[in-house]
């Protein structure tokens, strides 16, 4: 049923527990497993040592949540299963993302004020709409709908749009961490002139950034000449 791709990582462990397989998990967790097979997570298999081989293989659900036999015996004891927090689950494989959260500007995941699951659906309930891309929920602007859950003031609609908004938040912002303020993909001026290189103000003057004048970068409900140009 599953085709696994080996990953050389140390799998999460629960003392005394054995692996039961994703099909067993699906018997109770129907909603989580419905589209899970369509996601990249479904193909994850973590290598285990010879000593652990008798317990089975860390595949799919158990690659993140650990072996599930004790959880089956007592589903109400949360210590019998590994919860999907960043350190014990996500960052085991996504080391590149963990590194981005170490940058100066980042979403407060390391501080515990946000979780990977605030933006990502690891089980793929919206996979039909997004094609499984980054396991993000779908909505008005696809993955940007997750951004607008918190950044409501940037959502609009605006009478005067910034056309970059049609392409998505990630045109200007990086989601995990950045060396630039406001999680910009580059400095304020460089971010702007990547698209506006031919505009008459393509060169910043008087030691100002573009946003020194063009403050309503997401959109505005007043005529642009009233917002500094």
Q: What is the pLDDT of residue 207?
A: 73
| Residue 90, CA distances (Å) to 49, 85, 219 in order | 21, 7, 35
- Tens of pLDDT, residue by residue over 79-115, are 888 876 666 678 888 889 999 999 999 999 999 899 8
pLDDT of 108 reads 94
In our burial notation (b when 16+ CB lie closer than 10 A, e otherwise), range 176-194 reads bbbebeebbeeebbebbbe
Residues shown for the chain: 229
Q: Does the pLDDT of residue 130 top 80, yes or no?
A: no
pLDDT at 182: 94
Instruction: Assess contact for 66 and 17: CB atoms under 8 A.
Output: yes
* CB-CB contact of 81 with 88 (8 Å): no
- What pTM, to 2 d.p., does this model score? 0.74
User: What is the reported pLDDT for 32?
Assistant: 84
Question: pLDDT grade, residue 140 (50/70/90)?
Answer: very low
Instruction: Give ∠ CA 192-197-203 in degrees, rounded to 5.
Output: 80
User: Would the pLDDT of 177 be above 50?
Assistant: yes
pLDDT at 4 over 80: no
According to the model, what pLDDT value does residue 74 have?
Answer: 93
């Amino acid at each position: 049923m599953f085709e696994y791709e080996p990953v050389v990582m140390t799998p999460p462990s629960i003392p005394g527990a054995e692996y039961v397989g994703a099909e067993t998990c699906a018997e109770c967790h129907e909603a989580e497993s419905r589209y899970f097979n369509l996601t990249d997570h479904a193909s994850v298999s973590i290598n285990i040592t010879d000593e652990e081989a008798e317990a089975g293989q860390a595949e799919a659900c158990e690659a993140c949540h650990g072996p599930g036999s004790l959880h089956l015996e007592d589903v109400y004891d949360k210590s019998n299963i590994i919860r999907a927090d960043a350190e014990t689950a996500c960052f085991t494989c996504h080391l590149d993302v963990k590194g981005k959260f170490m940058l100066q500007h980042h979403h407060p995941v390391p501080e515990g004020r946000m979780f990977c699951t605030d933006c990502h659906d690891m089980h793929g309930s919206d996979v039909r709409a997004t094609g499984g891309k980054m396991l993000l929920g779908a909505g008005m602007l696809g993955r940007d709908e997750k951004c607008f859950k918190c950044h409501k003031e940037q959502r609009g609609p605006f009478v005067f749009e910034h056309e970059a908004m049609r392409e998505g938040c990630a045109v200007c912002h990086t989601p995990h961490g950045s060396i630039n303020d406001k999680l910009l993909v580059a400095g304020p001026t460089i971010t702007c002139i990547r698209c506006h290189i031919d505009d008459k103000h393509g060169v910043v003057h008087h030691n100002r950034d573009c946003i020194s004048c063009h403050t309503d970068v997401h959109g505005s409900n007043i005529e642009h000449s009233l917002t500094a140009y």
